[in-house]
Amino acid sequence: MLSLPPTLTLDVAPDCLSTLRDGLQHEAATVVVDGQLLQRFDSSALAVLLELRRECAKAGKVFAVQKLPARLRELAALYGIDALLKPA
């Protein structure tokens, strides 16, 4: 399982994505991203999740999320991408 950091905003998104990408190679066929620690975020968090989802697809892995903050799920729904962030 991969974990999102407590803060995921524009200024840390590239580093976070890089760390998550590195972690993909150690994950099984289903990659679960845990958002339990995430407290401070902006729309960059969605961009990171979507890019990680694309990376999983390229690697032939299933992407799922768990314990995302309600506000982040609401933001995903506002942008119409909530269906792309399937719960584990």
| pLDDT tens-digit series, residues 21-30 | 999 989 999 9
* pLDDT band of 88, cuts 50, 70, 90: confident
Q: Please give the class, per CATH, of domain 2-84.
A: alpha beta
- Decide: pTM greater than 0.85: yes
The full set of domain ranges for the chain reads: 2-84
Which of the 8 DSSP states describes residue 3?
E
Q: What is the pLDDT of residue 33?
A: 97
Per-residue model confidence as pLDDT tens digits over 35-66: 999 999 999 999 999 999 999 999 999 999 99
- What are the residue ranges of helices labelled H in the chain? 13-24, 44-58, 70-79
Instruction: Quote the mean pLDDT of the chain.
Output: 96
Tokens of 31: 């990659």
